[in-house]
Amino acid sequence: GLMNAPVLQRLDRSMSSVTVPPPACLLRPLEAPLRYLFGPGPSNVPPRVLAAGGRPIIGHLHPEMYGIMNDIKKGIQYAFQTENKMTISMSGSGHAAMECAVFNAVEPGESVLVAVNGIWGERVAEIAERMGANVHKMVKAPGGYFTNKEIEQAVEKHKPVLFFLTHGESSAGLCHPMDGIGDICRKHNCLFLVDTVASLGAAPIYMDKQSIDILYTGSQKALNAPPGTAPISFNERACQKMFNRKTKPVSYLFDMTHLSNYWGCDGKPARAYHHTGPVSGFFALRESLAILAETGLEESWRKHKEVSGYLQRGLEDLGLKLFIPERDLRLPSVTTIAIPEGYDWREMLVYIMKNHQMEMTGGLGPSIGMVMRIGLMGYNCEKTNADMALQALADALKNCKKTRG
C-alpha cells in the first residue's frame, strides 16, 4: 500500500476523536506504600482477607454468592450476638449503614433523639435533619457520657420514635455503657439505634440481650476488612416500624424492602436484582467474619482490653495524659491522649508518619485540637505494635520542637 502500518497508526492518532488525552499519571504504576495504620481506621488488613478480596469475581446473583451472603449474615449475627433474621451488609461504608438505619426507621416529621458526645451523634443528627425528622439533641463535650436517668428524662420529654447512641465514640475514645438503655427505649415505645463501627469485636456488645433494635458497624476497624461494606441488623420491633411506613424512604439504594429481598431476609422464594453488590468486598468481609468466628468474640474482647491497657500504661510512662480519665470507659480499639502541653499535635503526627511510616491521627469534629488518637484494632492489636507506637511517640516527643512553654 501507499502507507505502512506505523504511519497509518500515527495518522490515526492525529485524527483521533478524543480531545482529552490519557492522563500521564495513569501511565505510571500504582503506588500504595505499606503503612502501619495505627489510627482510628482503616486498620491494616491481614493477608488472608486481602487474598479473599483478590479472588476471581463471580456474579452478584449467582447461587455461590447467595451462599457467601448467607455466611456473612451468620457471621454478623454472631458478631452482634443476635438472632435477627433482618441482618445484612450495606454496600457502602459505615455512613451507608447510618443513613440506612435513619432513612428506614424514621418518617419525615417524626421525633428523633440523638446523643451527641463527639462527631458521630452530630452526623446522625444531620442525617435525620436532612430527611425531615424533628431532631432533638442531648449534648455533652467529647468524652462525656449520658446516665440512664438523663436518657430516660430526654426520651420522656421528646417522645422520639428513635434514640441514637454511639457505643464506641472513636472521636473521643469513649466506650459508652449500654446496660438498661434498651429497656428505657422499649418502655417508651422508641427504637434504640446503636453505632458500633469503632467498637465491634473490640468491646462487648449484645444486641439481643441489651434490647438494641438497630445495630450497625463498619468493615475497616476491628474486623480488618477493607473499607466499603457495613453490617447492619434490625430486630422485629424495628421491622414492624420500617415495613409499616406511610411514606417510602428517601433513598432507593438504601430501601430495606429491596435490601431485605436481595439478602434473602424477606421470606420470598426469589431474590431479585436491586443493585450490584461489591462482590470482592463481600468476599473480604466473609473472611474477616470467619477470622472473628475462629478467634471467638470473648477472646477478641479480652485481647483488645489487654493490649489497650498495655498501651495506656506505656503512654502514662511517657508522661502523657489519657483523655478519658475513667479506665472502664476507655474504648479498647481507639485510645485518645490529651495533646501534650507545648506541642503542636499536627507536627507530631507528620513527624511520626515521615519517620515511622505510621499513622496516628488528631481529633475529629468537636475533638479536633483536644486529642491524638492511636488505634490498635483486630490484626493490629498486638503488644509488639503497642511498643512500636510508643517508640514512635517517644521519638516525636523528643524531636518535635515545643511551640510554647
Select 202 or 291, whichever has its Cβ closest to ligand PMP. Answer: 202
Select 127 or 339, whichever has its Cβ closest to ligand PMP. Answer: 127
Cβ-in-10-Å burial (0-12, 13-18, 19+) of 66 comes to: middle
CB 86 to ligand PMP: min, Å: 20
- Whose cell is 474504648? That residue is 331
CB 201 to ligand PMP: min, Å: 13
**Residue in the shown chain whose Cβ atom is closest to ligand PMP:** 94
Tell me how far apart the alpha carbons of residues 106 and 111 are, in angstroms, rounded to a whole number: 8
Cell matching residue 224: 480488618
Cell matching residue 263: 439478602
Select 168 or 366, whichever has its Cβ closest to ligand PMP. Answer: 168
Select 144 or 264, whichever has its Cβ closest to ligand PMP. Answer: 144
CB 32 to ligand PMP: min, Å: 19
| β-bridge partners, 165 | 194
In whole angstroms, how far apart are CA 202 and each of 168, 267, 332? 9, 33, 6
SS3 breakdown of the chain: % helix, strand, coil, rounded to 5? Answer: 40, 15, 45
Q: Give the Cβ contact number of residue 9 at 10 Å.
A: 11
CB 262 to ligand PMP: min, Å: 20
Cell matching residue 169: 465514640
Q: Give the Cβ contact number of residue 25 at 10 Å.
A: 6
Select 102 or 396, whichever has its Cβ closest to ligand PMP. Answer: 102
Q: 149: Cβ–Cβ under 8 A, 6 or more apart, which residues?
A: none
Select 107 or 220, whichever has its Cβ closest to ligand PMP. Answer: 220
DSSP per residue over 120-186, as a string?
Answer: HHHHHHHHHHHTT-EEEEEE--TT----HHHHHHHHHHH--SEEEEESEETTTTEE---TTHHHHHH
CB 222 to ligand PMP: min, Å: 11
In whole angstroms, how far apart are CA 327 and each of 308, 322, 336, 367? 11, 9, 12, 19
Question: Residues annotated as binding site?
Answer: 373
CB 335 to ligand PMP: min, Å: 14
Select 84 or 170, whichever has its Cβ closest to ligand PMP. Answer: 170
CB 198 to ligand PMP: min, Å: 4
Question: Residues annotated as binding site for substrate?
Answer: 373
Residues that bind ligand PMP (CB under 6 A): 40-41, 93-95, 120, 166, 168, 170, 195, 197-198, 218, 227
